Chain A
Amino acid sequence: MRKRKSPAFTLLESLIAMFMLSLVLTFTALLFHKSYQVTRKLDEKERTRQAARMGLDRITSELREAVEITDSGGGVLEFLKIDPNATIVEPEAEPEDPEDDFEPAPYNAMIAYPLSSRLRVRYRTENEKLIREVRRASGGGWVGQVVVVGVNSFLCEQNPDNRGEVDVTVSVLDNRIVKTISSRVLCPCIREEFGV
C-alpha cells in the first residue's frame, strides 16, 4: 500500500469535517434554544401558579384564626382575630371556702379577649395585587401591605349549613386565561361545637 507523504488532511476532508461539525453545533444550539424557551414558559406558568398558591395559602392560614367573619362578599374578606401579642384576661381564682349557693363569675371569650385585644383584618385585590389591611377592632386606621402580585381576584363562600366552613377560590391570569385554585377552610373558633 502506498503511503501519503503528508500527514495533514486534504482541503476536502477539512471542509467535510467542518461542515459536519457546524451541522452538529447548529442542531445542538437549536435544541438548547428550544429547551430554554420551554423552561422560560414553564417558569412563567410556575410563577403564576405560585402567586395563586401563595395568595390562597396566606388567606386560608389567617382565616383559620378568625373568631368572626364580618364580610365575605364582593371580592372582599373581612374578619376579626385575636391579636397574637394580646395577653389573656385570666379567670378569677377559685374561692377557698365556697358558699353552698356559690355561682362562678361569668367568663367567656369576650372577657378573656376584649375588643382591644382583637384585630380586624381585610383582604382585597387591586390591579392584580392581593392586599392585606389590618387595624385594631376597637378603632384606628388601616395599615395595608401587598401580599402577592399576580392575583386577579378571589371569592369566599361560607357554607350556610356548617358555620365556620369557608370555600376560598383565588383566580389568576395565565396567558390571558383565567385559572382558579380553591381550598376549604374550617375555622375552629367559629365552628359549632357538638352538643356538650
Chain B
Amino acid sequence: MMRISRGHGFVLVAMLLISVILLVSGLGIMSAQASRYAASAVISEGLQARNAALSGLEDVRVKLAKDVKFPPRKSKDRGQSKFAYSEDLSTDPEVSYSVVVDYGLEREVNVPSRFEPFRWGIYRITVSGYVGPRNEPIAQSLIYAEYDIGSGAFIRFEDRGSL
C-alpha cells in the first residue's frame, strides 16, 4: 500500500479553499443579478395589470357612450345598484379585467310627455386589471372613475395602485 505523506494534503486543502471562495463569490454576483431580474419582472407585470385596467375603463367608456341600455338596470327595482362584468384579454400570459358599475347615484324620471326618461347623476366605476388568475393574481391594478351621465364624460379618475 502507498504511504500518503502529510505535506501533499496541504495543497489539496488550499485548492479546495480557493475553489470554495471563488464559488461563493460567483454565487453572490449571480444572486444579485437574479434579484434584479426578478424585480424587473414584477415591474413589467404591474404595468401589464395597469394597462389591462385602463383597457377595461376604455371598454366601459365606449359601452356607456354607445349603448343606451348599459348598464342593465333590471335589478334596480330589487334594491341592487351594481352591475359587474369581466373579460379575458389573453390566455398566455393570463391577462384580464373586471368592471363594476355602481349606478346608485343615477337618477331617472319618466315623464308622460317624453319618449325617453330624464336620466342624470353619476356612475361610479371600479376597474381591476389582473395578470394571472383573477382569484390569485400575480399582479393587480385598481382604477376608480366617476362618469357624469349628463355630459357623458368622466369627472373623476383615480389610479388606486398596484399589488
The chain A residues found within 8 Å of chain B, CB to CB, are 7-9, 17, 21, 24-25, 28, 32, 35, 39, 61, 64-65, 67, 82, 84, 88, 90-95, 98, 100-104, 107-109, 112-113, 187-189, 191, 193-194, 196
Contacts and interface: CB of A to CB of B under 8 A. Distances in A.
Given A17-B11, A107-B120, A193-B153, A88 B109 contact: no
Contacts of B3: 7
Interface string B120-150: 1110000000000000000000000110101
30 contacts: A8-B7, A9-B7, A32-B25, A64-B157, A65-B156, A65-B159, A84-B158, A91-B107, A91-B122, A92-B107, A93-B107, A100-B111, A100-B112, A102-B109, A102-B111, A104-B109, A104-B118, A107-B120, A107-B148, A107-B150, A112-B122, A188-B157, A191-B153, A191-B154, A193-B65, A193-B152, A194-B62, A194-B66, A196-B65, A196-B152
Chain B interface main SS type: mixed
Contacts of A113: 155-156
A41 to B, nearest CB: 15
Contacts of A84: 158
Given A8-B7, A88-B146, A189 B152 contact: no
A102 B118 contact: yes
A88 B148 CA distance: 12
A189 B157 CA distance: 7
Contacts of A103: 118
A188 B111 CA distance: 33
B18 to A, nearest CB: 8
A194 B154 CA distance: 12
Given A82-B155, A104-B109, 17 more contacts: A7-B6, A7-B7, A28-B22, A91-B107, A91-B121, A94-B107, A94-B109, A98-B111, A104-B120, A108-B155, A112-B155, A188-B157, A189-B155, A189-B157, A193-B151, A193-B152, A194-B66
A188 B146 contact: no
B105 interface: yes
Interface in B77-128: 105, 107-113, 118, 120-122
